[in-house]
Protein backbone atom coordinates (compact mmCIF):
# COMPACT_ATOMS: atom_id res chain seq x y z
CA UNK A 1 0.00 0.00 0.00
CA UNK A 2 2.82 2.43 0.74
CA UNK A 3 3.91 2.24 -2.90
CA UNK A 4 0.37 2.67 -4.19
CA UNK A 5 0.09 6.19 -2.82
CA UNK A 6 3.19 7.18 -4.77
CA UNK A 7 1.79 6.20 -8.18
CA UNK A 8 -0.21 9.37 -8.96
CA UNK A 9 2.93 11.42 -8.56
CA UNK A 10 4.69 9.37 -11.25
CA UNK A 11 1.95 8.88 -13.81
CA UNK A 12 2.17 12.08 -15.87
CA UNK A 13 5.93 11.90 -16.16
CA UNK A 14 5.98 8.27 -17.18
CA UNK A 15 3.29 8.53 -19.81
CA UNK A 16 5.21 11.22 -21.66
CA UNK A 17 8.60 9.72 -20.96
CA UNK A 18 7.47 6.58 -22.73
CA UNK A 19 8.22 8.48 -25.92
CA UNK A 20 11.67 9.55 -24.78
CA UNK A 21 14.99 8.13 -23.74
CA UNK A 22 14.07 8.47 -20.10
CA UNK A 23 11.30 5.87 -20.01
CA UNK A 24 13.02 2.63 -19.14
CA UNK A 25 13.80 0.68 -16.06
CA UNK A 26 17.19 1.32 -14.60
CA UNK A 27 19.12 -1.39 -12.81
CA UNK A 28 20.24 -0.33 -9.31
CA UNK A 29 21.84 -3.75 -9.04
CA UNK A 30 22.92 -5.91 -12.00
CA UNK A 31 20.24 -8.53 -11.37
CA UNK A 32 17.39 -6.11 -10.75
CA UNK A 33 15.23 -3.79 -12.76
CA UNK A 34 12.84 -1.13 -11.52
CA UNK A 35 9.28 -1.23 -12.86
CA UNK A 36 8.32 1.77 -14.95
CA UNK A 37 5.82 3.06 -12.43
CA UNK A 38 8.54 3.13 -9.76
CA UNK A 39 10.91 5.37 -11.71
CA UNK A 40 11.98 8.66 -10.16
CA UNK A 41 13.22 11.77 -11.94
CA UNK A 42 16.64 11.01 -10.49
CA UNK A 43 16.61 7.71 -12.36
CA UNK A 44 16.94 9.48 -15.69
CA UNK A 45 20.64 10.18 -15.14
CA UNK A 46 21.49 6.56 -14.41
CA UNK A 47 19.32 5.35 -17.24
CA UNK A 48 20.72 7.50 -20.01
CA UNK A 49 24.28 6.76 -18.90
CA UNK A 50 23.54 3.06 -19.40
CA UNK A 51 21.99 3.68 -22.80
CA UNK A 52 24.50 6.12 -24.27
CA UNK A 53 27.23 3.61 -25.30
CA UNK A 54 24.72 1.72 -27.46
CA UNK A 55 23.86 4.77 -29.54
CA UNK A 56 27.23 5.64 -31.13
CA UNK A 57 26.37 9.32 -31.12
CA UNK A 58 27.89 11.58 -33.77
CA UNK A 59 29.68 14.81 -32.70
CA UNK A 60 26.58 16.99 -32.93
CA UNK A 61 24.52 14.46 -31.00
CA UNK A 62 27.27 14.26 -28.37
CA UNK A 63 27.04 18.01 -27.82
CA UNK A 64 23.25 17.90 -27.50
CA UNK A 65 23.49 14.92 -25.15
CA UNK A 66 25.99 16.66 -22.85
CA UNK A 67 23.91 19.82 -22.77
CA UNK A 68 20.79 17.83 -21.95
CA UNK A 69 22.55 15.88 -19.19
CA UNK A 70 23.74 19.13 -17.62
CA UNK A 71 20.26 20.63 -17.71
CA UNK A 72 18.79 17.43 -16.31
CA UNK A 73 21.26 17.40 -13.43
CA UNK A 74 20.39 21.00 -12.58
CA UNK A 75 16.66 20.22 -12.52
CA UNK A 76 17.15 17.08 -10.43
CA UNK A 77 19.36 18.91 -7.91
CA UNK A 78 16.80 21.65 -7.41
CA UNK A 79 14.07 19.04 -7.14
CA UNK A 80 15.97 17.19 -4.43
CA UNK A 81 16.79 20.38 -2.53
CA UNK A 82 13.12 21.32 -2.44
CA UNK A 83 12.11 17.89 -1.21
CA UNK A 84 14.76 17.97 1.50
CA UNK A 85 13.66 21.41 2.66
CA UNK A 86 10.01 20.36 2.73
CA UNK A 87 10.82 17.23 4.68
CA UNK A 88 12.95 19.13 7.21
CA UNK A 89 10.27 21.79 7.63
CA UNK A 90 7.61 19.13 8.07
CA UNK A 91 9.68 17.36 10.73
CA UNK A 92 9.93 20.63 12.66
CA UNK A 93 6.22 21.34 12.32
CA UNK A 94 5.27 17.87 13.53
CA UNK A 95 6.94 18.66 16.85
CA UNK A 96 4.70 21.70 17.35
CA UNK A 97 1.56 20.99 19.42
CA UNK A 98 -1.61 21.71 17.50
CA UNK A 99 0.06 22.16 14.12
CA UNK A 100 -2.55 22.67 11.42
CA UNK A 101 -2.31 19.74 9.03
CA UNK A 102 -3.98 21.71 6.27
CA UNK A 103 -0.88 23.90 6.19
CA UNK A 104 1.07 20.74 5.45
CA UNK A 105 -1.34 19.92 2.66
CA UNK A 106 -0.86 23.35 1.11
CA UNK A 107 2.93 23.00 1.24
CA UNK A 108 2.73 19.61 -0.45
CA UNK A 109 0.40 20.94 -3.14
CA UNK A 110 2.84 23.74 -3.86
CA UNK A 111 5.67 21.26 -4.25
CA UNK A 112 3.44 19.15 -6.46
CA UNK A 113 2.97 22.05 -8.86
CA UNK A 114 6.71 22.70 -8.98
CA UNK A 115 7.39 19.03 -9.60
CA UNK A 116 4.96 18.99 -12.50
CA UNK A 117 6.90 21.81 -14.11
CA UNK A 118 10.11 19.83 -13.55
CA UNK A 119 8.46 16.91 -15.29
CA UNK A 120 7.47 18.99 -18.27
CA UNK A 121 10.97 20.36 -18.69
CA UNK A 122 12.55 16.92 -18.48
CA UNK A 123 10.14 15.48 -21.01
CA UNK A 124 10.92 18.22 -23.49
CA UNK A 125 14.67 17.93 -22.96
CA UNK A 126 14.86 14.22 -23.66
CA UNK A 127 12.25 14.23 -26.40
CA UNK A 128 14.47 16.75 -28.16
CA UNK A 129 17.35 14.28 -27.90
CA UNK A 130 15.12 11.50 -29.20
CA UNK A 131 14.16 13.66 -32.18
CA UNK A 132 17.84 14.01 -33.08
CA UNK A 133 18.45 10.25 -33.31
CA UNK A 134 18.50 8.33 -36.55
CA UNK A 135 16.45 5.20 -37.20
CA UNK A 136 19.21 2.83 -36.07
CA UNK A 137 19.66 4.70 -32.81
CA UNK A 138 15.94 4.79 -32.15
CA UNK A 139 15.81 1.05 -32.64
CA UNK A 140 18.61 0.72 -30.09
CA UNK A 141 16.50 2.75 -27.66
CA UNK A 142 13.51 0.48 -28.25
CA UNK A 143 15.64 -2.60 -27.67
CA UNK A 144 17.04 -1.12 -24.48
CA UNK A 145 13.57 -0.28 -23.16
CA UNK A 146 12.20 -3.69 -24.11
CA UNK A 147 15.06 -5.39 -22.26
CA UNK A 148 14.41 -3.40 -19.08
CA UNK A 149 10.69 -4.07 -19.28
CA UNK A 150 11.36 -7.78 -19.60
CA UNK A 151 13.73 -7.76 -16.65
CA UNK A 152 11.18 -5.92 -14.53
CA UNK A 153 8.52 -8.46 -15.51
CA UNK A 154 10.80 -11.35 -14.62
CA UNK A 155 11.22 -9.88 -11.14
CA UNK A 156 7.50 -9.73 -10.60
CA UNK A 157 7.12 -6.02 -11.28
CA UNK A 158 8.00 -5.10 -7.71
CA UNK A 159 10.41 -2.44 -6.57
CA UNK A 160 13.59 -3.37 -4.68
CA UNK A 161 13.03 -3.67 -0.97
CA UNK A 162 14.93 -1.57 1.53
CA UNK A 163 18.44 -2.73 2.12
CA UNK A 164 18.77 -4.45 -1.26
CA UNK A 165 21.03 -1.75 -2.60
CA UNK A 166 18.41 0.03 -4.68
CA UNK A 167 17.13 3.55 -4.27
CA UNK A 168 14.96 2.61 -1.32
CA UNK A 169 17.80 1.09 0.63
CA UNK A 170 20.50 3.66 -0.11
CA UNK A 171 20.97 7.18 1.11
CA UNK A 172 17.47 8.05 -0.10
CA UNK A 173 15.85 5.30 1.91
CA UNK A 174 14.31 5.67 5.31
CA UNK A 175 11.87 8.37 6.20
CA UNK A 176 13.90 9.49 9.20
CA UNK A 177 16.74 11.11 7.32
CA UNK A 178 16.36 14.50 5.74
CA UNK A 179 18.46 13.27 2.85
CA UNK A 180 16.07 10.42 2.35
CA UNK A 181 14.03 12.37 -0.16
CA UNK A 182 10.33 12.88 -0.23
CA UNK A 183 9.84 10.33 -2.94
CA UNK A 184 11.19 7.41 -0.97
CA UNK A 185 9.34 5.62 1.77
CA UNK A 186 8.80 8.68 3.95
CA UNK A 187 5.32 9.65 5.02
CA UNK A 188 5.54 12.94 3.15
CA UNK A 189 6.01 11.19 -0.16
CA UNK A 190 2.73 9.39 0.34
CA UNK A 191 0.78 12.39 1.54
CA UNK A 192 2.02 14.54 -1.31
CA UNK A 193 0.69 12.37 -4.05
CA UNK A 194 2.90 14.30 -6.43
CA UNK A 195 5.36 16.22 -4.32
CA UNK A 196 8.36 14.02 -4.78
CA UNK A 197 8.62 13.73 -8.38
CA UNK A 198 5.89 12.53 -10.48
CA UNK A 199 7.37 11.08 -12.27
CA UNK A 200 8.88 14.54 -12.64
Question: pLDDT tens digits, residue range 66-104?
Answer: 999 999 999 999 999 999 999 999 999 999 999 999 999
Q: How far apart are CA 156 and CA 173, in angstroms?
A: 21
More confident site: 25 or 37: 37
CA 106 to chain centre: 22
Q: Please enumerate in sequence order all residues whose Cβ is within 8 A of that of 138, keeping only pairs 6 or more positions apart, or say none.
A: 130
More confident site: 78 or 28: 78
Q: Please enumerate in sequence order all residues whose Cβ is within 8 A of that of 189, keeping only pairs 6 or more positions apart, or say none.
A: 5, 6, 9, 181, 182, 183, 195, 196
Is residue 8 scored above 90 in pLDDT?
no
Confidence of residue 157 (pLDDT cuts 50, 70, 90): low
Question: pLDDT tens digits, residue range 163-194?
Answer: 444 443 344 444 444 333 333 333 334 444 44
Angle in degrees, 0-180, between the axes of helices 101-131 and 59-94, rounded to the nearest 10? 170
Amino acid sequence: MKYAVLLPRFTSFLQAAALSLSLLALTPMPAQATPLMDLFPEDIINTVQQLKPDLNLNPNQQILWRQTEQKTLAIVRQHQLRRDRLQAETARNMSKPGFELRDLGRAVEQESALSEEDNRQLRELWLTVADALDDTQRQAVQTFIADRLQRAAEHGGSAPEKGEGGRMGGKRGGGGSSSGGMGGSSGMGGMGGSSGGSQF
